[in-house]
Structure 1
Amino acid sequence: MFNPKAKLRTKCPVPHIWDIRAEAYTLALSAKNANAVEATKFPDITEEANKIQRDNQKKAEANRINYPDHFMLESVRERLDGYDIFTLPNLQALTDIMVMLCIRPAELTTLCITDARVTGYAKNRGQLDIPRKFKSIEKNQERAKELLTWIQNSISSGQMGNPGKPEVKWFNRFLKDYNLIPKYLQKMGAVYGVVAYKAKNIAHAYTIAGECLRHSSDNYTSPVQNYIVVNYRPRRVSADQARLFRIYDKD
């Protein structure tokens, strides 16, 4: 007797073992940790995933961010509260505002805060500029917008240089005095956001950090593949007592 279901089954190709291994290897490289790939049952793939994880952990530990007392959360907050937007901003104000907004130098002139949403971030260049949630150590959105506009107006008028232009040296020299580089400011701001919003647990901390960094949940890279370590310490806490934060850069 003719069996249509049997005929349909014959049209479905049987996956080749190498196709399965390729799929499993892709899963291994994108997994959050080695345990997530145990289901592949391929020891060589699991071993490779573990090696990638160890190598990236070593790189992150070797480039751990230690900031001076001058850039502790409390110090940055105090300066942000005291800035007068009717005066000319200096490099310290520029730096503090970049920490506040977890901003990249290339985003400084394009970022826009409106109606509790943020647009114009460089990491979204070439894609639909979907507004992201506003979250910052400056919880007052109007004050955050005011400080950002203060810096942007100074750059557009020529009173301050644009640190987002290629081969900028003056901003790097300013930060070098504090053993910092521009990309550290963004990560420090994310950690400060986690502290400012009093994360209840590690999952909540990751959510807050992602919102501060304006990550897209649709643009995901494994934390194993790309993260950086920040040593957080509040005022009156020594460097050897700093608490370790791993900040995952999804974008």
Structure 2
Amino acid sequence: MNPLPGHIDQRCGYNLMGFRMGVSLTIFFTLILCFSPFIVDAQTQIEGIVYGPGKVPAEGVSILVSPVERMSTMIGYSITDVDGKYILTIDYEADSLVLSTRSLNFRDTILIVQNLSNTLTLELKAQVNEIREVSVRGYPILSNGDTLTYIVQSFARLRDHSIGDVIGNMPGFEVTPGGVVHFQGQPIQKYYIEGMDLLEKRYPIANKNLPHGSVASVEVLLNHNPLRILEDRIAPGSASINIKLKNET
């Protein structure tokens, strides 16, 4: 049946509407595909290799990232492997960042780097360790609710190098030769550095290589459960520790 003159076939209206919707959806998804790299790639990834003198790969070097305006706040952390390699992933909006290194065997280094994904190779100078006699009175341990704070300087001895060495001197702690930490006879749940669990089960690497001179205190989080939804099921005596770094700005 032919439509009357001046009358628009309803089917044509539906077809026209469907065509317009299809064009709109096509444009919408095209825009998403075009801009998705900018949405997904919000994080900065800096990777590279750290060398010591003679271009020898430097293992166990701590790499820290902080904002330029707040160098005491850590927003990224990594530690070099046996080949001197490291990878940092940072989710922070700023033009520039502060990248610093800490190690038992090499001098500390501080750099201002662009907040862009790139490859950065570092060459560190050897550290000359001077043994100084230190007189310490008492063993300061501060208590605040379910948190105990051990002042690192008070437990450090002349023979100690890493933070793991000093933790082994603290009452209630045991540290295995492999760097695993026990508190009150139980393995700790988490090993945080400035509140971040970046190394997870690989924390003994940092425990054995982070210089104790870079650490201000060790916090013991008693009855700690990283999954708050399971707080009612937490085992008595469960503890985690948090490494508080010195603000050397």
Q: State the TM-score bracket (shorter-chain normalisation).
A: under 0.3
* TM-score, structure 1 normalization: 0.24
TM-score by length of 2: 0.24
Tell me which structure has the larger Cα radius of gyration: 2
Higher strand share: 2
Q: Which structure shows the bigger proportion of residues in helix conformation?
A: 1
